[in-house]
Amino acid sequence: DTARQDVEDLEFLLGRLKEHESNLQYRQEQTAVQLERAMQSVSVEPPAPTDDEMADPEKVAEFMITMGAFSARQNLQLEHHAETVEENQLLARQLSEVAQIKRWLEDTAAWLLAEMECFSEQAEELDMPPMLSEEDIEYMELVDEQLCELLDGPFEEGEEGADGSANGAAHADAAEAAEAD
Q: Where are the domains of the chain?
A: 3-180
Residues 34, 37: Cα–Cα separation, whole Å? 5
Q: Which residue has the higher pLDDT, 94 or 169?
A: 94
Q: How many CB atoms lie within 10 A of CB 108?
A: 20
What would the pLDDT profile of 2-18 be if each residue is shown by its tens digit?
A: 777 888 888 999 999 99
pLDDT at residue 46 in the model: 87
Does the structure show a pLDDT above 70 at 179?
no
Give the H/E segment covering residue 165: none
pLDDT at residue 169 in the model: 39
What would the pLDDT profile of 79-133 be if each residue is shown by its tens digit?
A: 999 999 999 999 999 999 999 999 999 998 898 888 877 776 665 555 555 667 8
What would the pLDDT profile of 44-82 be if each residue is shown by its tens digit?
A: 888 889 999 999 999 999 999 999 999 999 889 889 999
